[in-house]
Amino acid sequence: MHENICGRSHSTAFNKSRKTVTALLLDLGNTALKWATSNKPEEPHAYVHCGNDVVPDELLHKWLNLKPERVVGCMVSSEKFAFNITRFFNAHGIKWDWLHSERVFQGRDFSVVNKYDNYEQLGSDRWHAVIGAASLYPNRPILVVHIGTATTADVVIPEDDKTQAFIGGRILPGPSMMTEALLTKTRCRPGRIGVRSDFPTNTADAITTAVLEAHLGIVDRSLASLRKMGFDDPCLLFAGGAAPLFAPYIMQEYPQAVIKHNLVLRGLAMRATNR
């Protein structure tokens, strides 16, 4: 979906029409900004900012040409980057709203209850991914795994015909964070990126294998917890910047898995239609 070059933007589908769109959707993560329009949340675009606070003029004018009536977004970091975005929209008289987690999402056809002890503590990206997943698979148990700077495995279960519940999840350092911890806190110097092996015989392969299997471990434990509740066939969704790298192993271990990158944007679209 995006290039692995910091500061470069790329989109899978750019609508050159100047027709007004209802809302511009923004998902501002630790290293990348993903965006779409509310009428086309299934066509995401991405800009890899890598922590840079500067929003490129090319991207801002691309948004302006869409003539959005308003901007709806969520963020987990990069507050200065978000400030620069909102300052631009203020200057052009465009309404904006950075959304947060809530206790209950009440949609037109379904609702999602947030069972986190302190619902405000739940990352807004996780909450909107849950809403997006629930909209795709109504009345189904769902495991949403997001592999990025951090990796999360969040569970949604049906409560009744029109109500689903986010009942909790697991958080793990993402692949890069795990690897960097070993490189900076130990004397490990593999010199290359390894490959998965049942019995690694060099440091590079040992690190890669362990990082991969640690991630598969939280998936296995989450699925086991669902089975204890009587949910034997949950929907398994993977997303996040590192998900494509894991895809061959994911599909080998879980052939039923679906890689779905736009869950947060889809959830934002659901919220936007209710506001």
Q: How far apart are CA 29 and CA 236, in angstroms?
A: 22
Q: How far apart are CA 171 and CA 152, in angstroms?
A: 5
* Distance from the first to the final alpha carbon of the chain: 29
Indicate which residue of 27, 125, 154, 205 is catalytic: 125
Phi, psi of 80 (to 5 degrees): -65, -40
Nearest to 28 by CA among 48, 4, 56: 48
- 161 catalytic, yes or no? no
Pairing of strands 40-48, 70-75: unpaired
228: left (phi over 0), alpha (psi -120 to 50) or beta: alpha
Mind telling me the catalytic residues? 125
